A and B are shown apart, each in its own frame.
Chain A
Amino acid sequence: MIDDLAELVAMYNEGSWAWGDFVHQVTLLIPEVAVHTIIDQLPDALRDDFVTWLRTTYENDVPADSFVSIGRQSHPEQQRIRLELLRAWLRAHPSSKNRQ
């Protein structure tokens, strides 16, 4: 597993992150780390929940600068790039519900 991702997961498991903070922090690894790499390398116990959270949060057309950042300064341009990559992955991997 990528070092930073492994460290994040370990921190989450020891309680350093609330779920929402953890998954958001994982997305901050993008674009240095590819979306599919992150999803592939997440532990099984977290992967489905992470993807579900991705769909809930980003499977929409909300502009990057319309998200409200809490506890950290927003960087709309970086956020825009992340969103494009995440949404591209989500489009390429429609949920089973959507496929039906």
Chain B
Amino acid sequence: MLRRGDSAATSTSRDGDRATGAAVGKRTLVEQLEAPEPQSSASFVAAPSGASPTTTGPSGTAGDSEPRAHDVKQPGALPRLQLKDIPPKPTTSRDKGSTGGQHEAAVQRSPAHPNAGATAPSSGMWEHTFGEASTPVGKLGRVQAPKGVYLRVRPMPGAESPGAPIPFNGLVYVERKTTQGHANERWCYVIATEAGTAGFCEERYLAIDPPEPTAALRRTTAGERLATIAEAAYGPATDESNSRLQVQALYLANRDRAGVKLDHVDLSLKDRALRGGDEEETLKIYNGAKVIAGDSIWIPSKPFIEQLKAAGAVTNGSTYVTEAWNKAKGVAGGVIDGAKYVAGFIVGLLEGAYNAIVDLFKGAVDMVEAVLKVIWNLVTDNPGRIKDMVMGWVDKMKVAWEHRGELADEFLNKWNADSMCDRGLFQGEVLGWVAMTVLLILVTMGEDAPAALAGIAVRWPQLVKLLKTVDTLGDVTTYLGAAAKVVNMPGKAAGFVAGKLGKAERGAVRAAGHVSNNAEHAIKDAEHGAAHGAHGPKTPHESARHAVGEHETVKVRGLAQAPKTYPWTKNPEGVVRTAADVRRIAGEHGVEIPHDIEVFAVQAKWLPPDSYAQYMGRDFLSGKRVSWEEFYNKYDNIAVKISKDILDSDEAIVAVMAHEMHELNGLRKVFTARETIAVEELGRMINPGHKGNLHDQAWSVADTLVAAMRARGHR
């Protein structure tokens, strides 16, 4: 639906205390860094032996989780950073945010995963990132979609994707997934470790949890047999034993996948074969095993096969098979250390960035939600870009830490942890925290930011050298400056930051206003020339802040859009179109309107307040699944109602129809693939307030077409 004055304005809402609630109970990086008074004398010490708040051991208070099911080690196997005089607080798995007392209700609606990772919880972070319940996965996977898969900024079809698709067989680390009942409906948050980026994709496009960490996916063709695939993958077998090993490994790697079947083999025989009762028969069977064309199967790597071979014959019995397999897995797992590091780094980066917000607004919990709404998508929309930035700091920081006396060994131990996953996680967390802190200061303090950074330095002297050495302000400005300039922080938040950093609140508000004014100018420049013969009495809501309820509203310009071509030009000589004209005019200017769309011009009173058009407007019971049929009227058409008020402007007609049809055409694609979708998901696709959704994209489409009309001099 297209609304009058639709804007990205969002306000803190009844769920505004979720994230803060989650954050309150978490021991964040700053809480660990922050020294008791006098702060300048703070120093790092390792947690006492036995009190180290690790989470992997059975004695862990909250993190007594079982080892993860796959090869990636528990990130939390490393002790958490601990300050002298601060009692060690057992941290929980980062996926176990609900275990910590006062923030139990916080954020994670889904139950904690028993095998969750083990750094401090950032369940509020995931709540904000997903926008719905999610549950930990923590497994490697590969892309099984033949043409690859886009990583999207939101868990919804058609959401923006900042990068190129991750190709078939691309390695990913699946961090979390949504909680729908069927894999076809679930979305995963994945880190594409080779591309160095992260985002959402549908679970069905992934093959999760490879049989061994270095296994790759291979597309299959009709009539292929495991024997020929094995030969292609590993070269001609040197002897019968070797051949048997290879095909059996292929079969075992894929026995839970749909891609392999054994033809003309009864189950009992197959079972016997798996037990290795008759090796000759086993070889015959495996050689005869067919694969299903058009699917994909796991191909264990050659080094893995070699490890398997070294561990003993696969056909020596099922127990032995498992032992040999696991042993070989452990050895081969080292090959993907780099992938683990990248995965850990990006997850850590998100956690650190989230923690920075929580830290900076500690004591002002009501602001955290508002600030997250403004700032969080700067991180999650393209985490790969921020990763590139902060990874560049890692080398620079080595120089800074030559004088490591200021830093506890514990910190450095974590920084250089043996486990690449742990190392990446910790480095990402620290640097994500720094980046976000600097960014927050930048957007709240504006021109006073350099001075404010000095304020941080006083408060947390451990970071002085780090901040100065890596020139964080410069880098953050380079990477995030453009986005930061269009961020309007709530005035209260800006004032809070100023106060916290010892600056005059008045100055901070002025600085925030300065940033806001710059954004205003930029947008006005972009819209230059748009306002000729304006349609409508006023522009959409353009003010930087609106009071909504007890909170101020925040707005990110240029991210969630308003129509930049508004106001729309009225037709010369007051020409008013009819409903029949609408379809023709919109079509002439590039709006795709399928035959089953029927346009009705109606009085504004039949549309929601401040709206120009509508094709669906109703309430659903929560959890209801909506079908495409429900969009249709009794004549099997979809009625698009547009306001009679816009019939005097062809620009408005094109913009409004472009908007409605972009949403409807997008939904049609979704419903072509899926019979029904949950109403909550439908809302996220087409209701305002969800950045990057169909509604949001529709503004861009509408603007493009209207701009083209103007370029052609349409009147």
Contacts and interface: CB of A to CB of B under 8 A. Distances in A.
A30 to B, nearest CB: 13
B622 A21 contact: no
Interface in A1-47: 8, 11-12, 14-21, 23-25
Contact of B633 (A8, A16, A70, A73): A16
A5 B606 CA distance: 11
A65 B622 CA distance: 10
Interface string A51-79: 00000010010100111111111100001
Interface string B86-111: 00000000000000000000000000
B620 interface: yes
Contacts of B615: 71
Specify the main secondary structure of chain B where it touches its partner: mixed
Contacts of B608: 71-73
A76 to B, nearest CB: 9
Given A67-B622, A70-B617, A15 B598 contact: yes
Contacts of B687: 69-71
Contacts of A79: 619
Nearest to B637: A15
Given A11-B602, A25-B606, A62-B622, A18 B683 contact: no
Interface in B135-171: none
A2 to B, nearest CB: 14
Given A15-B600, A16-B602, A21-B618, A71 B639 contact: no
B205 to A, nearest CB: 27
A67 B540 CA distance: 28
Nearest to A16: B600
Best-surrounded residue of B14, B615, B620, B633 (most CB of chain A within 10 A): B633
A57 B617 contact: no
B614 interface: yes
Best-surrounded residue of B614, B679, B687 (most CB of chain A within 10 A): B687
A71 B617 contact: yes
Interface residues of B, number: 36
Contacts of B637: 15
Best-surrounded residue of A57, A67, A70 (most CB of chain B within 10 A): A70
Contacts of B606: 8, 11, 16, 25
A47 to B, nearest CB: 16
B566 to A, nearest CB: 19
Contacts of A73: 608-609
B17 to A, nearest CB: 16
A60 B635 CA distance: 31
Contact of B634 (A19, A62, A71, A72): A19
Interface in B639-690: 639, 641, 679-680, 682-683, 686-687
Nearest to B603: A7
Contacts of B266: none
B618 A71 contact: yes
Best-surrounded residue of A15, A60, A74 (most CB of chain B within 10 A): A15
A43 B212 CA distance: 67
Q: Shortest 9 CB-CB distances between A and B: which pairs?
A: A24-B618, A71-B617, A72-B608, A67-B619, A15-B633, A72-B617, A16-B600, A71-B616, A71-B1
29 contacts: A11-B606, A15-B637, A15-B639, A16-B602, A16-B633, A16-B641, A18-B631, A18-B632, A18-B633, A18-B638, A20-B616, A20-B630, A21-B617, A24-B617, A24-B619, A65-B14, A67-B622, A68-B620, A69-B618, A69-B687, A70-B683, A70-B687, A71-B615, A71-B617, A71-B686, A72-B1, A72-B614, A72-B618, A74-B619
Interface of A: 8, 11-12, 14-21, 23-25, 57, 60, 62, 65-74, 79
Interface of B: 1, 14, 598, 600, 602, 606, 608-609, 611, 614-622, 624, 626, 630-635, 637-639, 641, 679-680, 682-683, 686-687
Given A68-B679, A68-B683, A72-B618, 10 more contacts: A16-B633, A18-B632, A18-B639, A19-B633, A20-B630, A21-B614, A60-B621, A67-B620, A67-B621, A70-B620
